[in-house]
Amino acid sequence: MSQNPKDLRYTNDHEWARKEGDLLRVGITLHAVAQLGDITLVDLAAAGTRLAAHARFGDIESVKAVSELFAPVAGEIVERNAALESAPETVNADAYGAGWMVLIRPADPAAYDALLDADAYDALLGSL
Amino acid sequence: MNDSLRRTALHDAHVSLGARIVPFAGWEMPVQYAGVVAEHKAVREAAGLFDVCHMGELELRGEHAVAVVDYLVTNDFKSLAVGRALYTVCCNAEGTILDDLILYKRGLEDVLVVCNASNRAKIAAHFAKAAEHHCEFRDVSDETGLIALQGPRAVDVMRAAGASEATLALPSFAFARDTVGGVAVTAARTGYTGEDGFEIFVHDADAAALWSALMAAGRPFGLAPAGLGARDTLRLEARLSLYGNDIDETTTPLEAGLAWVVKLDKGDFVGRDALVRAKETGLSRKLVGFEMTGRGIARHGYPLVASGADAGSAPIGLVTSGSPGPTVGKNIGLGYVPAALAAIGSAFAVEIRGQAVPAVVVKTPFYKRPR
């Protein structure tokens, strides 16, 4: 049974995107959270930052390691989750909810449809 | 997983406990089970059980065994009583560190040396060569298992597993033979976490039985299996050196803050002349403990820059260890800085992904257990 919500899209980098009107809310998947372990610091690019697809928009640190965050689609950050600055453990507690990272205005609204759906992402995890 | 990696006798136990296994010093080792922070807290508040079977064990026996070992290390092993263990470093002729060791004086002619897994081949060759024509030498690593039980409830766990009162009463850095969990062991009151506890030597064939017995005995006391991740955060808070990070063949024990294990007046030993000269010349750099005052986590290898300098400025030093300290609640680290910046309260910055993040030298250990 998959833990990955059906109404989200996913990337090979283990990020999720949720369509909210013209915007995409982006976070990391439960698989990524499990790999990272206890998350201790989240560093996100500021609102207004323009990103190419797969460009780094921040870093996430666990006790032991640093990982980069990559934009699922090209676009502009319209908001970052400032609450993660003081409470990075929110990502462990609620990866698909309060642990979101950034809200992006996609350069191309159709880019979302090209991301993996939950079945394709489950298949990717199954092949790891 | 790479086929050439070795597995300890406890591998199956780790897998059944859901451990994440990583390559470490040529071994497949558990890095975490439930999570680094949970394991760290279990060790500080209750007890944790660590597989350290990968460590190297060397045996030297004979009339001159103690003298041979004493000549290879900086601390005074000759004067140590039988039944006691000693932390030391082992230097080359240049006075830099080949490894840090715990030496066990099992008898007047019977020595056990425990070295880091990553240095086993180097240290075994070094000790074997020194032993030639003087005493017997055996690398007993493959037949020796080692399990560390650490934390304030370690004594309770040992008692529940059948340890004798004599073992439970061992002072720090003493050791004795006993039967624990139905298995013959040598229990030492030593560790690498800053907590009370035991490191328990066992024949490799009995290691899995001992692990199971301790896990079962420890359940009522909150004993948790703990991996390399927690081992690292625990030892960092206690400011215990990690070979390959904080100390190596480019660092002397004097600059690493390990002068307390260098006994220049004990008689000659390998590296003594170089260390005497280094002490006379004065140290140009020192390993210090720091905490981040800005937002960021220092990591091994990050450059240190002067306070107020921009990222990309000429480095003044290097981070050797860094991570969040789960018990101290701060992001902490160790690094080499110029001696002039080593005083407590000195400020500098850690370069983290192009940003100079402020840090300040603090007193170490970062964590000291309540007694």
pLDDT at A1 over 60: no
Residue A2: the pLDDT is 62
Whether B70 has a pLDDT exceeding 50, the answer reads yes
- Residue whose token pair is 């002039």: B340
Give every strand in the sheet of A56-62, ordered side by side. Answer: A39-44, A56-62, A66-70
Contact check, Cβ <8 Å, A37/B323: no
CB within 8 Å: A37 and B295: no
Contact A66 B295 (CB under 8 A): no
Higher pLDDT, A64 or B50: B50
Average pLDDT, chain B: 97
Q: What is the pLDDT of residue A64?
A: 86
Instruction: Write out chain B residues lying below 8 Å of A63, CB-based.
Output: 36-37, 229, 233, 323-324, 326
Q: Nearest CB to B353: which of A59, A62, A85?
A: A59
- Widest CA span in chain B: 61
Q: pLDDT digits over B150-193, tens only?
A: 999 999 999 999 999 999 999 999 999 999 999 999 999 999 99
The model's pLDDT over B236-281, given as tens digits with 9 standing for 90+, comes to 999 999 999 999 999 999 999 999 999 999 999 999 999 999 999 9
CB-CB under 8 Å, A59 with B323:
no
Q: Give the side-chain half-sphere CA count within 13 A for B302.
A: 27
How many Cα atoms occupy the beta-carbon half-sphere of B89 within 13 Å? Answer: 33
Q: What is the CA radius of gyration of chain A?
A: 13
**What's the pLDDT score for residue B3?**
63
Burial of B91 (0-12, 13-18, 19+ CB in 10 A): buried
**CB proximity list for B155: less than 8 A, separation 6 or greater:** B168, B196
Q: State both tokens at B20.
A: 């994440």
| Whether B36 contacts B229, CB under 8 Å | yes
CB contact under 8 A, A85 and B326: no
Distance CA B101, CA A66 (A): 31
Q: What tokens appear for A70 in the block?
A: 């990559």
Instruction: Show which residues on chain B lie within 8 Å of chain A, measured between beta carbons.
Output: 31-32, 35-38, 229, 232-233, 295-297, 299, 323-324, 326, 331, 353
- As a residue count, chain A comes to 128
Q: Phi/psi at A53 (nearest 5 deg)?
A: -60, 140
B285, B317 contact by CB (below 8 A):
yes
Q: Least CB-CB distance to B35: which of A38, A41, A43?
A: A38
CB distance B229–A63 less than 8 Å? yes
Q: Report how many Cβ contacts below 8 Å link chain A to chain B.
A: 35
Looking at the partner chain, which of B35, B296, B299 has a beta carbon nearest the beta carbon of A37?
B35
CA B221 – CA B314 distance, rounded (Å) = 51
Tell me the chain A residues in contact with residue B232 when contact means C-beta distances shorter than 8 Å: 64
Shortest distance, CA A72 to any CA of chain B (angstroms): 22
Alpha helices, DSSP H only, in B199-261? 207-218, 228-237
* Best CA proximity match to A72, nearest among A102, A36, A39: A102
Residue type, B371: R
Contact across the interface for B36 and A40, Cβ inside 8 Å: no
Q: How far apart are CA A118 and CA A10, in angstroms?
A: 7
| pLDDT above 50: residue B358 | yes
DSSP run (H or E) holding A66: strand A66-70
CA distance A61 to chain B (A): 8
β-strands B355-362, B285-292: how paired?
antiparallel
Test A37 with B36 for CB contact under 8 angstroms.
Answer: yes
The token duo for B3 is 């086929």
Nearest to A63 among B233, B295, B353 (CB): B233
CB-nearest to B37 from A43, A63, A66 is A63
Token representation of residue B317:
């030093």
Residues in chain B: 371
d(CA B80, CA B77): 5
Note the pLDDT tens digit of each residue in B202-225: 999 999 999 999 999 999 999 999
How close does chain B come to A49, measured CA to CA in Å?
Answer: 17
3-state SS, residue B55: coil
Helix or strand holding residue A125 (H, E)? helix A118-126
- Residue in chain B closest to A85 (alpha carbons) equals B295
Residues in chain A with CB shorter than 8 Å from the CB of B299 are 66
Q: Where does the pLDDT of residue B145 fall: very low under 50, low under 70, confident under 90, or very high at 90 and above?
A: very high
Q: How far apart are the C-alpha atoms of B31 and B38, rounded to whole Å?
A: 13
Are B233 and B43 within 8 A, CB to CB? Answer: no
Residue to mutate among A38, A42, A92, with most B CBs inside 10 A, is: A38
Query: Is residue B11 predicted with pLDDT exceeding 50?
Result: yes
Please write the tens of the pLDDT for every residue from B299-351.
999 999 999 998 889 999 999 999 999 999 999 999 999 999 999 999 999 99
SS (H, E, C) B116-181: CHHHHHHHHHHHHHHHCCCCEEEECHHHEEEEEEECCCHHHHHHHCCCCHHHHCCCCCEEEEEEEC
In degrees, rounded to 5, the angle at the alpha carbon of residue A117 between the alpha carbons of residues A114 and A119 is: 145
